[in-house]
Amino acid sequence: MKTIIKKIIKVLSFLIIFCVLCLIIFKVLWLEKTEYSYTVYDEPKNSSDVVYIGSSVSFYHFNSLLAYNEYGFTTTFMSSGTQPFPAVKYLLKEATNYQTPKVYIIDISRLPKDFSQIRVQDIRRCTDKMKFSQNRIDAINKCLSYHEEIEKDKYIEYYFSFLIYHNRWKKLNNLDFSKNEDYYKGFKFNKRTDSYPHEKYNWPEEITEMPEEKRESLEDLINYIKQSNLNVIFVIPHTLYEESELQCLVNASYIIEQNGLKVINFDKLEDFNLDYSSDFLDKYHLNVDGASKYTLYFSKYLMNNYKLSNHKGDSFYESWDKEYLKFKKDYKKVMEKDFEEQVNIYKEQMNY
């Protein structure tokens, strides 16, 4: 009997150590942290006032800490780089299981992209961080349904992600071993400056016929929003669009508005003084200063239109205050200027 107990203890100990090591190694080797922001899962259940769903522009453009500091509302993300639009409905569904925000923001910048050109890594970045559920399976299948090139026998890799990520050992850097160093409640802080290739786009005035798969995907999402009675704002962010994509976005805006939902085209707005020569980190994303301008404008709009709660001073939201202080400190270190002073300058420029 003693030997059996001894053996059981040994096996259990071996397995426990194995599981701990697995967790550590899997976490280190997981998807690069710069490629996604899924803070919907990280924050306490039903604690979020705004949920932002979209591609990388969402977590590069919207500084959730600045919005919190200004108005006290909390924003969480369900965003990943080059997020496939067909997955948005499932991400929205997923978000409703964890948060009950007053408003959801959905970035539609990926809608004009060719669905059949959705890459494996786009689907992986979007679905790998989702919790295992039927909804995740549906999201994967939906994205794969447009994609003829993905071999069907590789479906298994979407459910056992380590089959892919173990190979990332060659690309490991100090960030992979750090513990939430760049967390900032989902916002990605980037100081790089690159010139933006466009000033303003010439947005078409006419409404034309939308490609069927895009219209169906958008209508499917709108139907879900209406059935679930959710408050949603669709946004067309500042990013690089091809001429042909502008028409698609105009058509989409029309369909959205026809269904009684709100859509904001930020490229058409003049109100927040974006400097095209210094506020972008590359041709797709705003840098930290551009993000401040965008956030100031958008958070004010949200506050005014959705009566969001101010949680400042509430001990339950203490982590937001701490994270903001950390961000402010890091900003000063990296940018060599004071964040709040900088924000005040932007406010003056914007007649805030």
Partner 1 sequence: MSLTSLVFALFCIITIGLYFIVNKKIQWVILLIASLIFLFFDGFNPLNIVKFLLVLVPTYFCGILIEKNKGTQRAKLYLAIGVMLIVGQLFYFKYTNLLVNTINHILGWFKCEYVINTVQRSPLLGISYFSLIMISYLVDIYNGICKPQKNPFKCALFMTYFPILTSGPFIRYNEIENDLYGKHKFNFSRFCNGLIRVLWGLFKVLVISARCGIFVDTVYGNVRMYNGSFIIIAAILFPIQLYTNFSGSIDIIMGISEILGINLPENFTAPFFSTTLTEFWRNWHITLGGWLRDYIFYPILKSNFIQNLTAKLKKKFSKKTSKKITLYLSMLIMWTIIGIWHGGNYTFIIGSGLLQFLFMFLEDILGPVAKKINKKLGINEDTFSYRLYQRIRTFLLFAFAMIFFRATSVEDALITIRGMFRWNPWIFFDNVTLYVAGLDMQDFRILIISIIVLFIVDSLSRTGSVREKLSKQNIIFRWTILYLLIFGIIVFGCYGSGYDPVAFIYGGF
Separation between Cα atoms, residue 123 and residue 144, nearest integer Å: 8
Q: Which stretch binds partner 1 (CB under 8 A): 63-71, 75-83, 158-166, 343-351?
A: 158-166
Longest dimension (CA), the chain: 83
Taking CB under 8 A as the criterion, the residue among 160, 179, 242, 341 binding partner 1 is 160
DSSP for residue 129: T
- Which residue, 205, 197, 344, 351, is CA-closest to 265? 205
Taking CB under 8 A as the criterion, the residue among 152, 156, 206, 229 binding partner 1 is 156
DSSP for residue 34: G
Q: Give me the least distance between CB of 18 and partner 1, in Å please.
A: 7
State yes or no: residue 166 binds partner 1 (CB under 8 A).
yes
State yes or no: residue 155 binds partner 1 (CB under 8 A).
no
Q: Give me the least distance between CB of 38 and partner 1, in Å please.
A: 22
State yes or no: residue 16 binds partner 1 (CB under 8 A).
no
State yes or no: residue 18 binds partner 1 (CB under 8 A).
yes
Taking CB under 8 A as the criterion, the residue among 9, 15, 17, 23 binding partner 1 is 17
The nearer residue to partner 1, 163 or 345, going by C-beta atoms, is 163
Alpha-carbon radius of gyration of the chain: 22
State yes or no: residue 132 binds partner 1 (CB under 8 A).
no
State yes or no: residue 131 binds partner 1 (CB under 8 A).
no
Alpha carbon distances (Å) from 76 to 45, 285, 330: 11, 19, 21
The nearer residue to partner 1, 173 or 351, going by C-beta atoms, is 173
Taking CB under 8 A as the criterion, the residue among 167, 228, 258, 349 binding partner 1 is 167
**Which residue shows structure tokens 């794969």?**
144
Show the binding pattern over residues 97-126: x = contacts partner 1 (CB under 8 A), - = does not.
-----------------------x------
Do residues 203 and 250 lie in contact, with contact meaning Cβ atoms separated by under 8 Å?
yes
For partner 1 (CB under 8 A), the number of binding residues is 19
Separation between Cα atoms, residue 330 and residue 352, nearest integer Å: 25
Separation between Cα atoms, residue 222 and residue 57, nearest integer Å: 21
DSSP 157-219: HHHSTHHHHGGGGGG--HHHHSSSTT-GGGPPP-------S-S------S--PPPHHHHHHHH
Taking CB under 8 A as the criterion, the residue among 23, 45, 169, 191 binding partner 1 is 169
Estimate the share of the chain in helix, then strand, then coil, as percent rounded to the nearest 5. 55, 10, 35
* Binding to partner 1 in span 221-240, by CB under 8 A: none
Q: Give me the least distance between CB of 172 and partner 1, in Å please.
A: 10
Separation between Cα atoms, residue 92 and residue 240, nearest integer Å: 25
- Which residue, 116, 160, 127, is CA-closest to 35? 127
Taking CB under 8 A as the criterion, the residue among 6, 9, 12, 14 binding partner 1 is 14
* Binding to partner 1 in span 28-87, by CB under 8 A: 29
State yes or no: residue 1 binds partner 1 (CB under 8 A).
no
The residue ranges that bind partner 1 (CB under 8 A) are 7, 14, 17-18, 21, 25, 29, 120, 154, 156-157, 160, 162-164, 166-167, 169-170
